[in-house]
Structure 1
Amino acid sequence: MSRFERFTGVKLTNDEEFPVTVQVVYIVWDQPKSGETQQAVEVTPVGGLSVVPASGTETVKVTGAAKAAVARSAGGPAVSIKAFYSQ
């Protein structure tokens, strides 16, 4: 899929030998003027905390507020998905 298409899930892959707990967020970024730093204007959690098994995968479904954010902003101008370790 291209960078700005709508999506219904995020596949997480864990290459480690132990399970990890992560949170996924969908970020909408502003379009700053030249020389200014880019800022997040909307950060929406995708699912809850997810445990990705050791040497395994987990798919987080996009529902609720995250589904609405993707529908609203998937066409750009600047969006991203980030996964980060959490508890």
Structure 2
Amino acid sequence: MMLFHAENLDVSDLVALMANFIFMVRDSKTGKTAETEHEKFLFDEAERRGSLRKRKIVDIKEFENGEVNRLEALLAEG
């Protein structure tokens, strides 16, 4: 059993999965989505978080590739 002390607590370590679901309602007269400003805000925030997550993944892969290239260069010198 793992105990967490308040000063060492990092919420990102505790979150395994977080999902927001937005169900859209169609206007029966226009056939377009009927969404509130709050729903638009939530959708935009989800898009922003998704983009940020994708950028982090790309940054990690570029870092790892750089490290692999560096190690290969060092091995080639040896």
- TM-score, length-scaled by structure 1: 0.21
- Greater Cα radius of gyration, structure 1 or 2: 2
Structure number with greater CO (CA < 8 Å, separation at least 6) is 1
The structure carrying a bigger strand percent of its residues is: 1
